[in-house]
Amino acid sequence: MNSPAANYVPPKPPALSRFFSSTPVSVLIYLVVIGAIIMSAYNGAQAMGYNWQWYRVPKYFYTLTDDGFQWGEIAIGLVKTIEISTLAFLLAIALGLVIALLRLSGLVVGGALSVVFLEIVRNTPLLVLLYLFYYVLGPIFDLDRYVASILCLGVYHGAMVSEIFRAGINAVPTCQWEGAKSIGMSTSQVYRYIILPQSIRFMLPPLTGEAVNMIKSSAIVSVIAVAELTTIGRNIISDTYMSFEVWFTIAAVYLVVTLILSIGVSFVERRYAVT
C-alpha cells in the first residue's frame, strides 16, 4: 500500500508516561515497594532481637524419616480447613438457593421468612454467631464442635450467597420468563432450563469471592478449637515460640489456596462467557 494513510504513525503518549507504564519499569517499581516492606519488617524484627528459625518450619509440612513419608501438622490442618470450607460452602449454596427462591417466590410468608433470616444473620457478628451455634445450639441439638462450625459458616455465608443468587436471577430479563411461560413451562422448569443456566455467568464471579471469604472466615472456628489451619498455627507457636515464621507461613498457605481457587474459577468463567 502506497497511500499516505498506510505510512501514518499515530501520535504517542508523552515520554514520561510511556516510561512509567512500560513493563520493566512497572515490575521494578513493584519489586522496590515489596522489598521495602519486607526489609522494614526484617529490620524491625532484628531490632527486637528476634531469633529467626525458618529451618524449623518445613517439618510442619511433611517429614521424611526412616519411618517413611509423613504429612506434617500444617498439611493436616490445611486439609481440615478445606474440608470444613467445602462442606460449609455446599451448605451455603443449598441454603442460599432456597432463601433466594423463597424471596423471589412472591409468597408473603416465604418473603418474610427469608428477609428475617437475612437480617438476623447479616446483623450478627460471625464470632457471636459461632458462639451461638456452639454454646447454645450445640448442647440443645447435641452438635459437636466440628458440626457446629460447618453449620455456622454455612448459615452465615448462605445469607451472602442468597443475595448473589437473587441478583443473578434478577439479572435475566423478564422477557425470558415470558418466552418460557408462553411455551407452557412450569415455574420450576423455567428456573431449571432457562433462568439458572443464564444467571450462572452473573453469579460465578461473586460466588468465587464468597468461596474465598469462606476459606478465610473458616479461620474463626479456631476459637472453639477445631483443629484446622489457624488452630494448628497457634499450637505450633505455643510449642516453639516461632510466632513470626509460623504466622507468615500460615498466611502464605491461605494465600496459595485462595489464589488457586480464583485461577481455577477464571477458567470456568471462560466456558460460560457470553456466546
Partner 1 sequence: MSATQPMIEASNLDKFYGKFQALKNINFSVAHGERVVICGPSGSGKSTLIRCFNGLEIHNAGKLVVDGIEVYEGSREIRTLRQEVGMVFQQFNLFPHLTVLENLTIGPIRVRKKSKQEAEANARTYLERVHIPEQADKYPSQLSGGQQQRVAIARSLCMETRIMLFDEPTSALDPEMINEVLEVMVDLAESGGMTMVCVTHEMGFARKVADKMVFMDEGEIIETAPPERFFTAPETVRCQEFLQQILVH
Contact set with partner 1 (CB under 8 A): 175-176, 178-186, 189, 193-194, 197-198, 274-275
* CB closer to partner 1 out of 137 and 172: 172
How far apart (Å, rounded) are the C-alpha atoms in residues 156 and 208? Answer: 16
Name the minimum Å distance from CB 29 to partner 1.
42
How far apart (Å, rounded) are the C-alpha atoms in residues 246 and 240? Answer: 10
* CB closer to partner 1 out of 205 and 209: 205
How far apart (Å, rounded) are the C-alpha atoms in residues 153 and 151? Answer: 6
Distances (CA, A) of 171 to 59, 177, 203, 264: 50, 12, 10, 24
* CB closer to partner 1 out of 21 and 186: 186
Identify whether the C-beta of residue 220 lies closer than 8 Å to the C-beta of residue 126.
Answer: yes
Name the minimum Å distance from CB 231 to partner 1.
44
* CB closer to partner 1 out of 181 and 234: 181
* CB closer to partner 1 out of 174 and 238: 174
Name the minimum Å distance from CB 107 to partner 1.
12
* CB closer to partner 1 out of 43 and 182: 182
Distances (CA, A) of 210 to 55, 82, 192: 35, 14, 23
Q: Find, among 117, 151, 115, the residue nearest to 134 by Cα.
A: 151
Name the minimum Å distance from CB 169 to partner 1.
14
Q: In the block, which residue shows the cell 479461620?
A: 219
Per-position b or e across 90-118, b if 16+ CB within 10 A of its CB: ebbbebbbbbbbbbbeeeeebeeebeebb
3-state SS class at 69: strand
Name the minimum Å distance from CB 198 to partner 1.
5
Name the minimum Å distance from CB 193 to partner 1.
6
